[in-house]
Amino acid sequence: MKPRSINIFLLDGDPNGIRVAQISMSTIQAIAFRRNQLRRVRETFPEIERPGVYILIGADENHQDRQYAYIGESEGVGTRLSYHNSNESSRDAKTFWTDTVVLISKDENLTKSHARYVESSLIRNIGGSVRWSIPNAKRPSDDAGKLPLQDRVDMDEFVDQTKTLVGALGWDLFREMKGRGPEMSGPSTDVAKAPPDVTAVFSFIGEGYAAKMKVGPSGEFVVTEGSKARARTTPTVPRGTVALRETLMEKGVLRRDGDFLVFTNSYSFPSASAAAAAVIGASANGRILWKLPDGHTYADWEAGQEGPQHIAVGIPGEPGS
């Protein structure tokens, strides 16, 4: 690794909101944002409609200390992300996806072949990390994005800078693990108070539970104080959820009250599904279980954030990205 100077622009002044990172004197730009901020990013940064590479990040519900990182490429990244966002019912639905990093070149010289080469290189570079799983159904072939020597040198630099930028934005998926495996940290015990300016309030109600969730301006998923979770768990509950519920009880965030576990404080979860699983004590697809008063699901609401001008369509020739 070599010394680098990195500029990070916070669109709203929020370190957890939409961020743009760039290495000084470089044309490579990384844009990081929550899944439910996609519409705003497309409106604010039209350059993501050009060729590039993207990383979809989310929690592995069955392994508390592991995360998923799906790496893809497209001739039109914004449209491709919109397709993924609306593709809820297919076998390849990205239900784990909560955070996004888009990598593009500001000089508009990146082509489809360049993007395929970068995608292939990045997938190979995170294959050995014990913290991360790669849910890509297809792995790149050895000749993916085959390029002339000069272009390979340029794209190898793109890959190198991508690793640095993704790390600077808070994800260690390209970090080299040497020696013994890293010590896995426990679940976060920080209690997140619901922000005053919320964009939507969802309910999740059933036998033994009745909870509300707010989605804040930075895309956080906050189960509100007073929500009731089911005390018992099922055999399908993710192990990470069991550990988190136990920790929240130890810290007093969850308190036993008869047949319920009551949230004594609002608590922020990394995804709608993680919030739903904690409430119901079982594996849960929160994207369809959390609902607005009119019956629309969180997934419906999020798709609506795209707006009619961004109805997702597949890009010919890109079924696997």
pLDDT of 74 > 90? The answer is yes
Question: Are 52 and 110 within 8 A, CB to CB?
Answer: yes
160 token code pair: 């190198």
pLDDT tier at 255, thresholds 50, 70, 90:
very high
Q: Are strands 221-223 and 254-257 parallel, antiparallel or unpaired?
A: unpaired
**How far, CA to CA in Å, does 286 sit from each of 13, 173, 213, 226?**
29, 25, 11, 19
Domain parsing of the chain, residue ranges:
6-180, 200-290
DSSP secondary structure string for all residues of 223-250: EPTT-EEESS--TTS-HHHHHHHHHHHH
In angstroms, the CA 98 to CA 84 distance is 12
Could you read off the pLDDT of 140-185 as tens digits, one per residue?
Answer: 666 665 788 888 899 999 999 999 999 899 888 887 543 333 333 3
Averaged pLDDT for residues 133-145: 69
In angstroms, the CA 214 to CA 8 distance is 28
Query: Higher pLDDT residue, 57 or 131?
Result: 57
Averaged pLDDT for residues 95-103: 93
pTM score, two decimals? 0.65
Could you read off the pLDDT of 175-226 as tens digits, one per residue?
Answer: 754 333 333 333 333 433 334 444 689 999 999 999 999 987 667 889 999 9
Tell me the CB-side half-sphere exposure of residue 161, using CA atoms within 13 A. Answer: 24
Could you read off the pLDDT of 7-32 as tens digits, one per residue?
Answer: 999 998 988 899 999 998 888 999 99
Tell me, what amino acid is at 315? I
In angstroms, the CA 122 to CA 156 distance is 10
Tell me, what amino acid is at 167? G
